[in-house]
Chains A and B, each alone.
Chain A
Amino acid sequence: MTCNPNEYGCGKYPELEPVLDKYADVRGSLITVLQKTQDLYGYIPVDAINHIGERIHVKPSKIYSVATFYAQFRLEPVGKYLIMLCKGTACHVNGTDSIEEAITEFLGIKDGETTEDGFFTLNNVACLGCCSLAPAMLVRSSEGTEAYGNLTKEKTKKILNDIKGREAKEVKI
């Protein structure tokens, strides 16, 4: 279908067009479309919501309500490294709160925040299912996802420091 060039977001998200072409007429595909959008951009830009709405015939208000209902969707960009700290029961019993403290101390960010340099975002997640490695976290970047288990405050700081060190090296080169 054609897109009104005066509308918000039209033409701004060319990568999204194939997805929208594929799902425009598939009923009930809104969540899939939002997941693909987030895969492409790392988050769901607000003006993309308007554009998606126009293309798949769903009101933007409805899309916003769905995007904010589910824990997976983010409306803000994330850092280069996304720290997913497990807050599952086994991790809780084994002291994940102190790991969160360590991250906050070391990076100066709380749950949902991103560091000023845009490197790290901290997200608390419900359960990663690695309960035998509690407390555990995943660090996701464009290079892949690393799992870290049996964390202590010191170990966590060291992991983050190593990532920081790698980054500094890359900048120098």
Chain B
Amino acid sequence: MKVVIGQGSCGIASGAQQTAGEFERYIKEMNIRNVTIEKTGCIGACFLEPIVDIYSAEEELEGRYVNVFPEKVEEIAKAHLICGKTADTYLISKENEEYLNLQKRVVMRNCGQINPESIDDYTKKGGYKAAEKAVKEMQPENIIDEMEASGLRGRGGAGFPVWKKWKATREQESDVKYVICNGDEGDPGAFIDRALLEGDPHNIIEGMIICAYAVGASSGIMYVRAEYPLAVERLEKALKQAEGKGFLGKNIFGSDFSFDITLRIGAGAFVCGEETALIASLEGQQGLPKIRPPYPSKRGYWKKPTNVNNIETLANVPYIIENGGALLASMGTEKSKGTKVFALAGKAKRGGLIEVPMGTTLKEIIFDIAGGIRDGGKFKAAQVGGPSGGCIPEELLHTPVDYESITATGAIIGSGGIIVMDETTCMVDMARYFLDFTAKESCGKCNYCRIGTRRMLEILERITTGTSKDGDIEMLNELAEKVQDGSMCGLGQTAPNPVITTIRYFRNEYKDHIVDRKCTAGVCKFETAQQ
């Protein structure tokens, strides 16, 4: 039998390592034989951590136990491992099973299933077969055709068709080309890339190999945030294993294609999620974006053609090559194909990662899958897309999540972060929070972004402390427009979104603050009015 304990960052923070230690102690103490203890990545149900799966010798799942804190271990182990009966009190409930059953797993298909630190686990699930097929049997052009057929669009935020980017890099003539995997997941509320790296690092590496072969690159760089130490650790291991098996290095799969990957750790700057800023950072510079065109596909890292893709984008690639583009294209909507992973947090009952086909409505995600608001609260808004996104009110919950529909509300899919808010969240304070973030993270290159976000923040600070002036809302709207127009990169162009959407959908709350000097959510603390 096999005891598998989920040990992603959130599992570990919930005490999964202590739980694993308890299992180990008990199994040794009771001298139970033929039981191994293994780890796996995050299955995405963070609210159920620590999660323990017990498999039979035939690798069949016999019981999934949730919230297994160390004190529950003995009872579970005794019942299941000694007596051969499931410890029913601690099994996952029907309701919580729905959380997983209602999802469609493509990029997360191995997360919470395999041991991320074992390349054999990955190859047993068919891993590296797609890379082998690509390198041995396919021409780069066929791969790009397959990507086109899949309809996959970039998951980093902008939603640019992936095949077009690859083709543009492919068409450049150059002795050296690069592939960069963008793992600078800077949105303070998204943790999709982290879970993918922690749970299934080989899938990303395989995606990069296929991408490199298709665009004609010989060198790759993985750029990961320093705030994700576990992801970095597992990726380092995975890269070594892949090199050991000959999936990376010279003459991969016996072909004349050679490719290596270097791991680089980010130094902490939100703007480095923008591809030209990311490249500047990799070159040892301040992370300042450059005007595009020329796009990195033409002139990128060290002025060579460079293809930059986000982690979740690359995680789709092995699936597409293995199954054909048409399968991915059969999921989702007309213009947004495949699935999207969302990081759900805030006041939702069941928080974690949710992978659904594009086109699923926000209502289905927040209410059917995540179970609505916890502690009997009432839904107020969902912030979609982090600091670049917007707040979507209850009346727009029927909006399907695809690039165009979400953009029409004033938010963006962006990083895939969804923060659910209830009546105890003040929308003006939320706008202030995000502006505070973007104002600090503005690199300072464009005046409107550098100064405009600062001025907007000052106005929001006035409103949330009860010292606002007449015309503040109008001034906010005017500045928002100017910052959008006058900024060169996505950071500035989207920074006003939280302000614009909260004014659009929650103007009453602004009025409460300005006219009545009150905050209905009870978040803002007003200075006593001075006469």
Residues of chain A having any CB pair with chain B under 8 Å: 27-32, 34-35, 58, 65-66, 69-73, 87-90, 92-94, 125-134, 136, 145, 147-149
Q: Are B286 and A66 in contact (CB under 8 A)?
A: yes
Identify 28 residue pairs between A and B in the complex whose beta-carbon atoms are under 8 Å apart, listed by A's number.
Answer: A27-B284, A28-B282, A29-B284, A65-B286, A69-B269, A71-B269, A72-B226, A72-B268, A89-B386, A90-B345, A90-B346, A92-B433, A93-B421, A94-B347, A126-B186, A126-B188, A126-B270, A126-B441, A127-B186, A127-B187, A127-B189, A129-B185, A129-B194, A129-B227, A129-B228, A132-B10, A133-B13, A147-B9
Give the chain B neighbours of A69 by CB distance below 8 A. Answer: 269, 286-287, 443
Q: Is B452 an interface residue (CB 8 A)?
A: no
Within 8 A of A (CB), among B278-293: 281-287
Q: Are A136 and B13 in contact (CB under 8 A)?
A: yes
Alpha-carbon distance A66/B267, docked complex (angstroms): 10
The number of residue pairs between A and B whose CB atoms lie closer than 8 Å in the complex comes to 127
Alpha-carbon distance A73/B268, docked complex (angstroms): 9
Given contacts A70-B268, A145-B229, contact A126 B437 (CB under 8 A): yes
Q: Is B47 an interface residue (CB 8 A)?
A: yes
Q: Are A129 and B433 in contact (CB under 8 A)?
A: no
Given contacts A31-B284, A72-B267, A87-B188, contact A125 B227 (CB under 8 A): yes
Q: Are B188 and A70 in contact (CB under 8 A)?
A: no
Q: State which of B266, B281, B287, B351 has its C-beta within 8 Å of the C-beta of A131.
A: B351
Q: Are A94 and B188 in contact (CB under 8 A)?
A: no
Q: Are A30 and B284 in contact (CB under 8 A)?
A: yes
Task: Mark B433-457 against chain A: 1 for CB-CB distance below 8 A, else 0.
Answer: 1100100010100000000000000
Q: Is B296 an interface residue (CB 8 A)?
A: no
B residues contacting the other copy or chain, number (CB 8 A): 53
Q: Are A93 and B351 in contact (CB under 8 A)?
A: no
Give the chain A neighbours of B267 by CB distance below 8 A. Answer: 31, 34-35, 70-73
Alpha-carbon distance A51/B381, docked complex (angstroms): 52
For residue A49, give the distance in angstroms from its CB to the closest CB of chain B.
14
Please, which residue of chain A has its CB at the minimum distance from the CB of B419? A89
Q: Are A88 and B351 in contact (CB under 8 A)?
A: no
What are the 7 A-B residue pairs with the smallest beta carbon separation, nearest first?
A132-B46, A89-B189, A131-B345, A71-B268, A30-B284, A90-B345, A127-B188
Q: Is B168 an interface residue (CB 8 A)?
A: no
Give the chain A neighbours of B287 by CB distance below 8 A. Answer: 69-70
Please, which residue of chain A has its CB at the minimum distance from the CB of B282? A28
Within 8 A of A (CB), among B287-312: 287, 302
Q: Is B14 an interface residue (CB 8 A)?
A: yes
Give the chain B neighbours of A125 by CB distance below 8 A. Answer: 227
Give the chain B neighbours of A30 by CB distance below 8 A. Answer: 284-285
Q: Are B282 and A93 in contact (CB under 8 A)?
A: no
Q: Are B12 and A90 in contact (CB under 8 A)?
A: no
In this complex, the member of A73, A92, A129, A130 whose beta carbon has the largest number of chain B beta carbons within 10 angstroms is: A129
Give the chain B neighbours of A148 by CB distance below 8 A. Answer: 13
Within 8 A of A (CB), among B375-425: 383, 386, 417, 419, 421, 425
Q: Is B341 an interface residue (CB 8 A)?
A: no
Give the chain A neighbours of B266 by CB distance below 8 A. Answer: 72
Alpha-carbon distance A16/B12, docked complex (angstroms): 33
Please, which residue of chain A has its CB at the minimum distance from the CB of B424? A93
Q: Known pairs A73-B267, A126-B268. 10 more at Cβ < 8 A? A: A27-B284, A31-B284, A34-B267, A70-B268, A72-B267, A92-B433, A126-B188, A127-B188, A132-B47, A134-B345
